[in-house]
Chains A and B, each alone.
Chain A
Amino acid sequence: MAARKHRRVGDSPLVRRTLIGLAVVLTVLLLFMPLVLIFVQAFAEGWAGYVSNILNEYTLHAIGLTLVVALLTVPLNMVFGVFLAWLVTRFRFPGRKLLTTLIDIPFAVSPVVAGLLFLLLYGSNGWVGQWLGEYDIQLMFSWPGIVMVTVFVTCPFVARELIPLMQQQGREEEEAGVVLGASGWQLFRRVTLPNIRWALLYGVILTNARAVGEFGAVSVVSGNIRGETNTLPLQVELLYQDYNTVGAFAASSLLAGIALITLVVKAIVEWRQSRN
């Protein structure tokens, strides 16, 4: 940025200092302190207490289930997100705008409603659920139901990160690739992927953070069976309601750690993109 001689709004030192001060104080109160509290509470019984809380049988099981849910959800939504972004940024066709609006639905829907949608359809009274019941397949109140609602809730993130970037980059490079005789897969691997890999990485990390942290929707379809269908956020709720505050915050600290990693990755990705 070139040094400006012209004065702009808010340049005077008094305004500047007041606004920065206000912003810092509010952010510390609203965002930093909650983060600090999580770790202070988690370690309230010392390091040994923290470890034993994490190693609690049910907490360990919840960690495992949460990892499984993320491992199934994230790749699925990554593939879908890449295809959707490719579709809406590389082709013009009627209904393109509608597709990008539809994909925002999970952002607008209450997580509890999201859970209910799947319960109505795949529960023992639902159309699909009844039919599956005849084959003894139960999706709700077991892990497949948790995966299904998590896919619903987190499906927009990858596409939402990729679409603005791919739109901005345009399709000239890929068209050049086609002229040079590249196949679809080669085009994606050699031209598109190198251009979008950082945004894709952030999309995937964000999808992961939301997948491991989904609470409302999962709560509706899980049935909260300890040691069976409890994910980590549900385990946090259970421990908190059992007045095991330290245990609840110990489990929370793992989720907060994932959130922090997500923020760091985002900062790196933005730094990389601004350098280009």
Chain B
Amino acid sequence: MATTDVMERPAKRLSAPATKRVLPGFGLSLGISLFFISLVLLLPISGLFIRAAGMGWEQFWFVITDPRVVASYKVTALAALAASLFNCVFGLLMAWVLVRYEFPGKRLLDAIMDLPFALPTAVAGITLATLFAENGWYGQYLADLGIEVAFTPLGIVVAMAFTSVPFVVRTVQPVLEEMAPEDEEAAMSLGASDMTVFRKILFPTLWPAVVTGGALSFARSLGEYGAVIFIAGNSPYISEVISLMIFVRLEEYDFPAASAIAAVVMTVSLLLLLAINVWQGRYLKRLHGG
């Protein structure tokens, strides 16, 4: 998981600058890794950018600013934002409960947190669509309240929130576990209220992990496809996500348009990934006093 980065400690224990390589296999593992990464990752990705660059700036701009496509950027970004905000709150709650308290069924609760990573997105999609359908287990009660989830943008939020549940939980958990209790206990014994201590002492340590998890959840949600399409309704301008837009262009055999939109999505994803990595590196350094 990308989330495990948080647990990666700066390798201080590994003393001795390895100018001399004692262990075998450097050449072999470097060769295999580079070959694999070039063939499987870099070659196809550069293919996309070359294809998109080949179509000319004007046509590229025309395709990526098509009103229906622009509407799908907005829907996707807003839904991903809402889903990751939900997950920041829910993830913090779950991490807190799983680290701080002991109660029966805790292991089960902990284990099920990873379900969204293990369950295929298409299965998640039809399951959520069935749950939130008008006559579904949830949908019938929500309908009484006048809330429609299935086939609305809200459905997209639900699907995105479901598939990215583990990110915040799994980034905050290790930070909470490693947190030294001294400051917290001192503040408590001086009579500060729970809320004050949480705000002034715990939250400043926790929030970078929450933001990292939230950003990972956002990045994942931007690209979500399988879980979303079954519940979204997919009406143009209202509930089409950007991945679906690419798919629609492909089904029209409009390869240049599909590539152009994909190039935009890919660029945003890569920038996000880079930003998250830089941010993680920085805050890890601060966390471990490097």
- A interface residues (Cβ-Cβ under 8 A, vs B): 4, 6-10, 12, 15-16, 19-20, 22-24, 26-27, 29-35, 37-38, 41, 79-80, 83-84, 86-87, 90-93, 99, 101-113, 116-121, 125-127, 151-152, 155-157, 160-161, 163-164, 167-168, 170-171, 174-175, 178, 183-184, 187, 206, 209-210, 212-216, 219-220, 233-234, 236-237, 240, 245, 248-249, 252, 255-256, 258-260, 262-264, 266-267
Which residues on the B side are within 8 Å of A168 (C-beta)? 9
A15–B96 Cα distance when bound, in Å, is: 12
CB-CB under 8 A for A206 and B118, given A111-B243, A216-B225: yes
Query: What's the nearest-Cβ distance from chain A to residue B233, in Å?
Result: 14
Query: What's the nearest-Cβ distance from chain A to residue B153, in Å?
Result: 18
For residue B145, CB closer than 8 A to chain A, the reply is no
Chain B's interface size range is: 35 or more
Query: What's the nearest-Cβ distance from chain A to residue B54, in Å?
Result: 11
- Chain B residue with the shortest CB-CB distance to A122: B44
Asked if A117 and B118 sit within 8 Å, CB to CB, the answer is: no
A64–B261 Cα distance when bound, in Å, is: 34
Task: For the A-B complex with A80-B32, A113-B48 known, give 14 more contacts whose Cβ atoms are closer than 8 Å.
Answer: A7-B185, A9-B202, A10-B198, A12-B194, A19-B96, A24-B105, A83-B33, A110-B223, A111-B243, A112-B262, A209-B118, A234-B122, A252-B123, A263-B111
Asked if A92 and B121 sit within 8 Å, CB to CB, the answer is: no
- Chain B residue with the shortest CB-CB distance to A117: B44
* A6, A27, A91, A210: the one within 8 Å of B188 (CB): A6
Asked if B118 and A92 sit within 8 Å, CB to CB, the answer is: no
Interface residues of B in 242-258 (CB under 8 A from A): 242-244, 246-247, 250, 255, 258
CB-CB under 8 A for A252 and B259, given A113-B265, A121-B43, A178-B23: no
Asked if B28 and A83 sit within 8 Å, CB to CB, the answer is: yes
For residue B287, CB closer than 8 A to chain A, the reply is no
Asked if A170 and B247 sit within 8 Å, CB to CB, the answer is: no
Query: What's the nearest-Cβ distance from chain B to residue A11, in Å?
Result: 8
A12–B26 Cα distance when bound, in Å, is: 55
The digit string for B14-57, where 1 denotes a CB below 8 A from any CB of A, is 10011001111110111011001100111111011001000000
A170–B23 Cα distance when bound, in Å, is: 12
Asked if A9 and B222 sit within 8 Å, CB to CB, the answer is: no
CB-CB under 8 A for A266 and B111, given A105-B41, A233-B122: yes
Asked if A34 and B272 sit within 8 Å, CB to CB, the answer is: no
Asked if B194 and A90 sit within 8 Å, CB to CB, the answer is: no
Query: What's the nearest-Cβ distance from chain B to residue A3, in Å?
Result: 12
| Pairs A–B under 8 Å by Cβ, sample size 20 | A4-B181, A9-B194, A19-B93, A31-B116, A83-B33, A84-B36, A92-B17, A99-B33, A113-B223, A126-B47, A160-B4, A164-B4, A206-B118, A216-B121, A255-B119, A256-B119, A259-B118, A262-B114, A263-B112, A267-B111
